[in-house]
Amino acid sequence: MKAFRLDELEAERAANEGAYLQFLREQNMSVGLYALDAGEQDPQKPHNQDEVYFIVSGRAAITVGLETTQVARGSVIYVPAGVAHKFHHITEDLRVLVVFSPPER
């Protein structure tokens, strides 16, 4: 078993001064913590992997392809591989668990 605490992951991510911290990588998936502060721009480009986003905290909108929805704590979003997507209109600091399958390269 591997177990993680979000507060410790957030501290590690912040200490490394990056928006993304991959903290688990297995044969069929990888998991990371993604952080965007209120008003920040999301620089993402489409990925070669399917993704699932679980919103841990914050408020924003996300556009996936041509669809846009509001997200907040507890929201879960699936993004198919190769589809353009971005968080925007981030009104509260956003913390997101990201699951890639297969693992992000």
- Domain-embedded: residue 52: yes
**84 located within any domain:** yes
The total number of structural domains that make up the chain: 1
Q: Does residue 29 form part of some domain?
A: yes
Asked whether residue 104 is domain-assigned, the answer is no
pLDDT at 78 over 90: yes
State how far the Cα of 51 lies from the Cα of 73, in Å rounded to an integer.
18
Structural domain harbouring 56:
4-99
| Residue 97: per-residue pLDDT | 98
> Above 90 in pLDDT, residue 104?
no
| Position 62 in a domain | yes
Domain of 42: which CATH number? Answer: 2.60.120.10
The candidate with the shortest Cα–Cα distance to 33, out of 105, 101, 96, 102, is: 96
Domain membership flag for residue 105: no
Label each residue of the chain as H, E or C: CCCCCHHHHHHHHHHCCCCEEEEEECCCCEEEEEEECCCCCCCCCCCCCEEEEEEEEEEEEEEECCEEEEEECCCEEEECCCCCEEEEEEEEEEEEEEEEECCCC
pLDDT in tens, 5-42: 999 999 999 999 999 999 999 999 999 999 999 999 99
